Structure 1
Amino acid sequence: MTEKMLKFVHLEQKYPHKREASARRTDFDEIYEDFESQSAADQSSRCSQCGVPFCQAHCPLYNNIPDWLRLTTEGRMEEAYAISSATNNMPEVTGRICPQDRLCEGNCVIEQSTHGAVTIGSVEKYITDTAFANGWVKAPKPTQENGMSVGIIGGGPAGMAAAEQLRLKGYEVHIYDRYDRMGGLLVYGIPSFKLEKHIVERRVKLLEEGGVIMHTEFEVGRDATLEDLRRKHDSVLIATGVYKSRDLKLPGVGLGNIYPALEYLTTSNRIGLGDTVAAYDDGTLNAKDKNVVVIGGGDTAMDCVRTAIRQGAKSVKCLYRRDRANMPGSQREVGNAEEEGVEFVWLTNPEAFVGDDKVTGVRAVKMRLGAPDAGGRQSPEVIEGSNYTMDADMVILALGFEPEDLPTLFEAPELGVSRWGTVKIDFRSMMTNLDGVFAAGDIARGASLVVWGIRDGRDAADRIDEYLLARKEAAA
């Protein structure tokens, strides 16, 4: 092993080639090219094969990263995929969109020793893309049916992961989703320059080939109540995600041309999928030739600013009330956005939106970081007299997401929710206060990462299986 690995001393960190900013500004294609096989092997060989792999410990899925890096170095790609997919239902997705700089790569031992992290995400993507190209990725078909069914509300990462795991265990699985395509935010929230949609579509197709039954444009509460689904299935999993945008209560927030991030991103993604969207065609949700201001500092804000650049905006500014070091979004994404022409306005907070019927500017104030708050982060404080107004023809609010009122939507007032609106579960059993009804992903934990949705979906499938087998045994 040591002959092929531990090459970080001699080999420099290299990511796959990134297209020039001038070229990628003009399209929605993914910005990174694929690894060549030798490059993937070389970069994998930089792994130090730690006795305590911190990359694995800081992965929500606890992926066996050192093992599949070693197998990639040795050219044993089918085995590498087998190890990678054993803990992850969508490694080709997480390899593309996980904030590796905050998770596995950020905690890589050789990153801490200043040699530069192993390019874990890029290798993960390479392994699975190679597996698809060689036909190694199979539909989830059980060895035998068990005669029980599970209904899953929501076709995003948590719902898809749970569906695959349950199908492999022999359950009849139905996914109910309000949209016309499965995939949730993977399809409608994340731009194609980070995750091209055919990547998600082929996973959905595999689920269908494995026997998972898809119900698109199906709204629980309109087409069936939660109680209807409970009667139809042996168990129900709520995996809706969180889609309600957080409000910003400021003067002028009701002016025209101020939009929530998800509405803007969904419109752009629909156009990329070939849909006709009137609000884009008439220029309403199209940033072309506009001065765009995005408010927020997370990954959704990065998606918005980079989308606006590609739509041909006149200028794109991102306002964030803290500094760069304290923003919650991926630093890698910030760097990509800066290369593409986004202007970041750090330590700045909006005070009001100005204009008559439509917004024409954002009145902002400069901030400084003061004493740490209860969570240890420095609290932003207003610098008196620093107010100014910047031009804005379009404002996008990317302040995060909150749960919708599911008890009302589902006609299930008895469904327990927290004070934040998330569905209450026992995190050991993942069951809600309703017998046989489980919840997973953002709707239970709050807005989080795709990788956590996959983890929760897998865990929920195991807990549902345990619950139904125990009930079956008790009834025997």
Structure 2
Amino acid sequence: MTKKAIFDFLERERAMPARIPLQLRRDGDWGELYGRFGEDEAKHQAGRCLDCGNPYCSWGCPLHNRIPQWLELAREGRIIEAAALCHETNPLPEICGRVCPQDRLCEGSCTLNDGFGAVTIGAVEKYIVDAALAQGWTPDLSQAPATGKRVAIVGAGPAGLACADRLARAGIAATVFDRYEKIGGLLHFGIPTFKLERAVLDQRHGVLAGMGVQFRLGMEVGRDVSMQSLLDDFDAVFLGIGSYRYTDGRLPGQELHNVLPALPFLVQNGRIVIGDDTEGRAIAGWEDQIALPDLKGRRVVVLGGGDTGMDCVRSAIRLGAAGVQCVYRRDEANMPGSAREVANAREEGVEFLFNRQPLALLGEGSVSAVRVAETRLGEPDARGRRNAEVVAGSESELEADVVIIAFGFQPDPPDGLAAHGIQAEANGRIRVGSALPYQTSNPKVFAGGDGVRGADLVVTAVQEGRDAAAGIATLLNGMQLAKTD
């Protein structure tokens, strides 16, 4: 065990793992942007932690990860113990270490973020779990004897996978159903490989299978298996169905050729990148198997400033677009996406047009321009965000060969849930909050993730899947899983 210097943060600056060179990204390199820390680098960065008496980083994380504790274990080189501690609160730590907006959450809350540079929490988390798995670490289930209870999980996205992990740790057999042929949901088919390499998901699939989780992939509930059969055959059901229905801005001209919805664009391009250009299936009214236009040398405009929009603009750069513009109706400070993702996009050549409201798409047959108007921020809306108000007489046109619409997504629950006593809100979100955490109006059915709260972060879906499993364990076993907050 090495002795920690109290003022390591003064001697060592914040550092991130080396990145793929800019020119390679512009030339179409789809590998993960950030590399991996070596052992010494990880120890040095972990050693910058102040081990605050009130760990703001932990409170800034929806999972309330025990960040100072596993940073100290990493600094001491106790990687297996660090990985086990990571997994106590986070069923998918190596994934969150890659895709979480740490700048808005744990690192944004770090005491050192004000003047010295936050501890590189996400990159150390990624190092811990990658290193432990490479050494053969697997979750210890010796204290989880089989209960004989069985749960069906609908959806192999982050909420469903997190729920399966926690059920396995409670001795409850989990079977995961998903219409796609790979686990991950939009982790696999929506998030570009420059943020999350698919081998990471394949590895997590193996870990979960080793824990006894069964997968029924390529099986869609409502088509290949009925909801009623799940209710009949299993002791409980968890719905982690995500949000796939795009937010329709109802822009005039959005039916023009080369106007693409963000999700099918990302899904289909992701399939091509990983060499799996197979026939897709319909997603909420759009076809996820679409004919992608050649973006080389073309002008691309992306409408929307969230993380999906950032995935689109950065993908367009790698696909050889001559110019990529991102149009967002508020200012940069109010963008919902990660500031780090915005910085990466800007470095790669994306032009941001803030305070612009799209009004219409123009063209004859194919899109040729986007009509926009300038905006100013007005009074806050119901959520406290200031509304974007159009400035009269400020209209202009942006030339565009391809337009990608990334206004966000809403839940689109499958038909027939009401027939099983599962109520939904007016906006389509599944209603939860009965006697147990994430229990629906059908006491045998639980739900969590984007299908409950609307499109949100991966880490919040993981948190809801994890906590729903605690409710299921209470229902089935009369037991309470260890609290993680």
Q: TM-score w.r.t. structure 1 length? A: 0.94
Shift of 1:273: 2.2
CA deviations on 1:242-283 (whole Å, 9 max, x unpaired) are 111110112112222212111000001111221125899996
| Long gaps (5+) in structure 2 | 280-286, 480-485
Change (3 A) 1:286 1:158: farther
Matching residue of 1:133: 134
Return the alpha-carbon distance in structure 1 between the equivalents of residues 200 and 159 of structure 2.
Answer: 16
The farther-off stretch of 361-370 and 87-96 is 361-370
> Do 1:56 and 1:62's aligned partners in 2 also have CA atoms closer than 8 Å?
yes
Return the alpha-carbon distance in structure 2 between the equivalents of residues 281 and 157 of structure 1.
Answer: 23
Matching residue of 1:75: 77
Return the alpha-carbon distance in structure 2 between the equivalents of residues 397 and 93 of structure 1.
Answer: 26
CA deviations on 1:306-328 (whole Å, 9 max, x unpaired) are 01111111211100011111111
Return the alpha-carbon distance in structure 1 between the equivalents of residues 142 and 198 of structure 2.
Answer: 24
1:178 aligns with 2:179: yes
1:236 aligns with 2:237: yes
Shift of 1:299: 0.4
Give matches, 1:254-403, under 5 Å.
254-276=255-277, 284-403=292-411
Return the alpha-carbon distance in structure 2 between the equivalents of residues 240 and 5 of structure 1.
Answer: 46
Return the alpha-carbon distance in structure 1 between the equivalents of residues 308 and 140 of structure 2.
Answer: 31
Secondary structure at the counterpart of residue 459 of structure 2: helix
Matching residue of 1:426: 433
Counterpart AA for 1:393 = D
2:92 pairs, out of 79, 90, 93, with: 90
How much is the aligned-residue C-alpha RMSD, in angstroms?
2.1
Shift of 1:168: 2.3
Change (3 A) 1:403 1:3: closer
Matching residue of 2:423: 416
Secondary structure at the counterpart of residue 153 of structure 2: strand
> Do 1:369 and 1:380's aligned partners in 2 also have CA atoms closer than 8 Å?
yes
The farther-off stretch of 272-281 and 121-130 is 272-281
Secondary structure at the counterpart of residue 228 of structure 1: helix
Counterpart AA for 1:343 = E
Counterpart AA for 1:133 = A
> Do 2:18 and 2:35's aligned partners in 1 also have CA atoms closer than 8 Å?
yes
CA deviations on 1:113-144 (whole Å, 9 max, x unpaired) are x1110110111111111111111134868753
Counterpart AA for 1:417 = A
Matching residue of 1:438: 446
Shift of 1:148: 1.5
The farther-off stretch of 258-267 and 369-378 is 369-378
The farther-off stretch of 201-210 and 330-339 is 201-210
Shift of 1:293: 0.9
2:463 pairs, out of 443, 451, 455, with: 455
Give matches, 1:59-70, under 5 Å.
59-70=61-72
Shift of 1:289: 2.9
> Do 1:226 and 1:411's aligned partners in 2 also have CA atoms closer than 8 Å?
no
| Percent identical | 44
Return the alpha-carbon distance in structure 2 between the equivalents of residues 317 and 259 of structure 1.
Answer: 15
The farther-off stretch of 382-391 and 195-204 is 382-391
1:103 aligns with 2:124: no
Return the alpha-carbon distance in structure 2 between the equivalents of residues 182 and 277 of structure 1.
Answer: 16
Change (3 A) 1:116 1:18: same
Q: TM-score w.r.t. structure 2 length? A: 0.92
Return the alpha-carbon distance in structure 1 between the equivalents of residues 263 and 140 of structure 2.
Answer: 31
The farther-off stretch of 426-435 and 344-353 is 426-435
> Do 1:255 and 1:359's aligned partners in 2 also have CA atoms closer than 8 Å?
yes
Secondary structure at the counterpart of residue 425 of structure 1: coil
Return the alpha-carbon distance in structure 2 between the equivalents of residues 318 and 176 of structure 1.
Answer: 36
> Do 2:265 and 2:290's aligned partners in 1 also have CA atoms closer than 8 Å?
no
Return the alpha-carbon distance in structure 2 between the equivalents of residues 217 and 116 of structure 1.
Answer: 45
Shift of 1:3: 3.7
Shift of 1:224: 2.5
Secondary structure at the counterpart of residue 412 of structure 1: helix
The farther-off stretch of 254-263 and 43-52 is 254-263
Change (3 A) 1:226 1:286: farther
Shift of 1:178: 1.1
CA deviations on 1:430-452 (whole Å, 9 max, x unpaired) are 11111211111111122111111
Return the alpha-carbon distance in structure 1 between the equivalents of residues 380 and 418 of structure 2.
Answer: 43
> Do 1:225 and 1:410's aligned partners in 2 also have CA atoms closer than 8 Å?
no
Counterpart AA for 2:51 = Q
Secondary structure at the counterpart of residue 243 of structure 2: coil
Secondary structure at the counterpart of residue 18 of structure 2: coil
Matching residue of 1:56: 58
The farther-off stretch of 371-380 and 46-55 is 371-380
> Do 1:4 and 1:73's aligned partners in 2 also have CA atoms closer than 8 Å?
no
Counterpart AA for 1:319 = V
Return the alpha-carbon distance in structure 2 between the equivalents of residues 382 and 92 of structure 1.
Answer: 42
Change (3 A) 1:236 1:291: same
Change (3 A) 1:372 1:8: same
Return the alpha-carbon distance in structure 1 between the equivalents of residues 18 and 382 of structure 2.
Answer: 42
Secondary structure at the counterpart of residue 419 of structure 2: coil
Change (3 A) 1:139 1:82: closer
Shift of 1:193: 0.2
Q: How many residues align?
A: 469
Matching residue of 2:150: 149
CA deviations on 1:413-432 (whole Å, 9 max, x unpaired) are 63200121110011643111
Matching residue of 2:483: none
2:43 pairs, out of 35, 41, 46, with: 41
Return the alpha-carbon distance in structure 1 between the equivalents of residues 257 and 325 of structure 2.
Answer: 19
> Do 1:141 and 1:210's aligned partners in 2 also have CA atoms closer than 8 Å?
no
Shift of 1:19: 2.2
Change (3 A) 1:5 1:34: farther
| Long gaps (5+) in structure 1 | 472-476
> Do 2:330 and 2:388's aligned partners in 1 also have CA atoms closer than 8 Å?
yes
> Do 2:264 and 2:290's aligned partners in 1 also have CA atoms closer than 8 Å?
no
Return the alpha-carbon distance in structure 2 between the equivalents of residues 340 and 160 of structure 1.
Answer: 33
Return the alpha-carbon distance in structure 2 between the equivalents of residues 72 and 208 of structure 1.
Answer: 27
Matching residue of 1:474: none
> Do 2:370 and 2:399's aligned partners in 1 also have CA atoms closer than 8 Å?
yes
